A and B are shown apart, each in its own frame.
Chain A
């Protein structure tokens, strides 16, 4: 009797612990969608969002969802699109490609969405392609892999600067500093492996030579061995390509090894968590990214500056912290989709929506100014990038 009761108690506790957070999420989600559905007489336009709310990219998926929720609420307050409210149905892909595919199927077959924003990661984004093609609806990805638009699909668009844009910009900048030999360290996952391939393809054009190329895995706790090898090979700068928390380990390892050569990173390191983790070792770290981190870089008389300031103010007020680049990518994905919808008749088809997205010209977003074309679904240029440097614990524009 006693044992049975205790088992029951244990079970109840475990179930309660497991269910409470889930229940919390679904009740808020459900509440929102009914609000959107009943407030308006017209049927909402439904957009799917496949984001990583858990798993490795949870830190990216959260700001993305924040930005989408905030912007959808604003669009609907302003009367929606053609009188139709926008409804976003969120799915968590747990940073897993198979889950992303399953979520996509559900959004298409059960929810009948007109377009899908996602996935947060490059792996998930690519895996969804089969389902996207089956349904023939447009996909707008906030993931940064070059392969997303490099391996071209007419239905797939991308909002971040891809590695094929950032890598040549970064290498040219390094060459301008009078450096000729670099050591490369990249993670073995999607973003790092993608960046490494683009780096190796562009080294010669920039007049640089890689004297050492090292890899590490997500979850590794120390990169001193790889850095020792880079140092021993006579590199004049280290180029690091990763979006994970290992970036700050690399910066601290370099400082502890007494390496004084400069460290360059990528837009994957444009997160305050990097500076917090690396502390003093982050000083002097340089990386190229869009202008959202320091809106003055847009030029303070430009429209982009106003758009960015407005977004930063509203996001900071809503969530108590400034938006990062990932929030910006989601913002761009949503507004590009909604703008395309607003150019169409009320009952447009998915194919018309795709054509309208491709016709996006001069859209001033957070990541930059987007002009898509029949063979360009990334839509940005090197003009949308700027080089940052970490100074006194924050990023400033590198001279």
Chain B
């Protein structure tokens, strides 16, 4: 199949021109912004617990499914339905933490990671039983697309970029300048020391799961109009978001977003110049190479604790 493409390109002398290259870049950034939003959710939980939450993809699924439910079944207008869907997802995140994470009091990261894997299976089975097996759609927030130097981009993608940008600014501000953010980070560094200075670590962990779920819910709400959603989309979002978070550097919101965009660009450039069949393999190989050279991720600070 590679040869048939090559044959044609040779005969017509067709190479990748500038608008086309720009289109590839936009396609990559579009996917990348989705990965970035999911990666941010990983970052929040990691920043307060040192744990990778493998149920993060399910929060994305729930954000979409609950918004569709509020929009189609309850008949709410889209903004209200989206708000309800995202808030309910946040509530699920809090309940998930209280029921599944908190009872494991010693905070052993390995045990907690396994719990999140089990939790993700439970959440997707529940969604399957509550909402049925078929895929669901939402209307776009804004229709149409914009033309950028001959390449086009859906307006809906601008929403995703916007949400990611606002989220990263707010999170960076929170972690650097607010007591709450500093308290969350303190919990990940040393729970007991954090408790000694008057921080309630359990509260911080619950909050971080709620916040991560809200962010995942936002990602689900913003991407469903483009991709539809279904009970089983969680794991693929989770894997891409996880890869993005690792590529950028765990625990740092800004690095997570850059990691997501980089991963998206890598994939689309693989399609453009090598082969769409191997795009996931190519980006994962690059991810591994990066980790060999920079275990803390491309944009992670060198002082971060090792992953």
Seen from chain A, the residues whose Cβ lies within 8 Å of a Cβ on chain B are 3, 6-7, 10, 13-14, 17-18, 21, 53-56, 58-59, 61-62, 188, 196, 200, 209-222, 224-226, 228-229, 232-234, 245, 248-249, 252, 256-258, 273, 276-277, 279
A-B pairs with beta carbons under 8 A, tally: 145
In the complex where A18-B122, A226-B276 touch, is A277 in contact with B135 (Cβ < 8 A)? yes
Among B125, B152, B223, B236, point to the contact of A257 (Cβ < 8 A).
Answer: B152
Apart from A229-B272, A232-B16, what 11 extra A-B contacts exist at CB < 8 Å?
A: A17-B126, A59-B133, A188-B277, A200-B1, A224-B268, A225-B276, A232-B20, A234-B14, A245-B230, A249-B227, A276-B137
Among B9, B30, B99, B277, point to the contact of A10 (Cβ < 8 A).
Answer: B99
Q: Is the CB of B226 within 8 A of A228?
A: no
Interface-side segment among B21-29, B246-254, B288-296: B21-29
A78 to B153, CA, bound (A): 59
In the complex where A211-B8, A214-B271, A219-B233 touch, is A257 in contact with B1 (Cβ < 8 A)? no
Among A196, A212, A249, point to the contact of B226 (Cβ < 8 A).
Answer: A249
A296 to B20, CA, bound (A): 45
B154 on interface, CB distance cutoff 8 Å: yes
Given the complex, which residues of B lie within 8 Å of A210, measured CB to CB?
Answer: 4
Closest-by-CB residue of B relative to A6 is B103
In the complex where A58-B133, A233-B9, A245-B135 touch, is A221 in contact with B122 (Cβ < 8 A)? no
B134 on interface, CB distance cutoff 8 Å: yes
A232 to B27, CA, bound (A): 15
Q: Is the CB of A58 within 8 A of B122?
A: no
Closest-by-CB residue of B relative to A24 is B129
A258 to B268, CA, bound (A): 19
Given the complex, which residues of B lie within 8 Å of A217, measured CB to CB?
Answer: 280
Interface 0/1 of B85-110, CB less than 8 Å to A: 00000000000001110010100000
Given the complex, which residues of A lie within 8 Å of B228, measured CB to CB?
Answer: 245, 248-249, 273, 276-277
Given the complex, which residues of B lie within 8 Å of A233, measured CB to CB?
Answer: 5, 8-9, 14
Question: Nearest Cβ distance between residue A123 and chain B, in whole angstroms?
Answer: 16
Given the complex, which residues of A lie within 8 Å of B231, measured CB to CB?
Answer: 58
Q: Is the CB of B277 within 8 A of A58?
A: no
Closest-by-CB residue of A relative to B119 is A14
Q: Is the CB of A232 within 8 A of B31?
A: no
Seen from chain B, the residues whose Cβ lies within 8 Å of a Cβ on chain A are 1, 4-5, 8-9, 12, 14, 16-17, 20, 23-24, 26-28, 30-31, 34, 98-100, 103, 105, 122, 125-126, 128-129, 132-137, 139, 145, 152-154, 223, 226-228, 230-233, 235-237, 267-268, 271-272, 275-277, 280
In the complex where A54-B125, A59-B133, A226-B271 touch, is A234 in contact with B8 (Cβ < 8 A)? yes
In the complex where A58-B231, A59-B133 touch, is A228 in contact with B23 (Cβ < 8 A)? yes
A295 to B237, CA, bound (A): 40
Question: Nearest Cβ distance between residue B132 and chain A, in whole angstroms?
Answer: 7
Question: Nearest Cβ distance between residue A381 and chain B, in whole angstroms?
Answer: 29
In the complex where A14-B100, A62-B133, A221-B34 touch, is A229 in contact with B276 (Cβ < 8 A)? yes
Closest-by-CB residue of A relative to B99 is A10
Given the complex, which residues of A lie within 8 Å of B122, measured CB to CB?
Answer: 14, 17-18
Question: Nearest Cβ distance between residue B119 and chain A, in whole angstroms?
Answer: 9
Question: Nearest Cβ distance between residue A397 and chain B, in whole angstroms?
Answer: 25
Closest-by-CB residue of A relative to B103 is A7
A211 to B133, CA, bound (A): 36
Given the complex, which residues of A lie within 8 Å of B28, measured CB to CB?
Answer: 225
Question: Nearest Cβ distance between residue B158 and chain A, in whole angstroms?
Answer: 12
Closest-by-CB residue of B relative to A8 is B103
What are 30 A-B interface contacts by the 8 Å CB criterion?
A10-B98, A14-B99, A53-B133, A55-B232, A56-B232, A58-B134, A59-B134, A61-B133, A62-B132, A188-B277, A209-B8, A211-B4, A211-B5, A212-B5, A214-B271, A215-B276, A217-B280, A218-B236, A219-B237, A220-B236, A222-B31, A222-B34, A225-B267, A228-B24, A229-B271, A248-B228, A252-B154, A252-B226, A258-B145, A273-B137
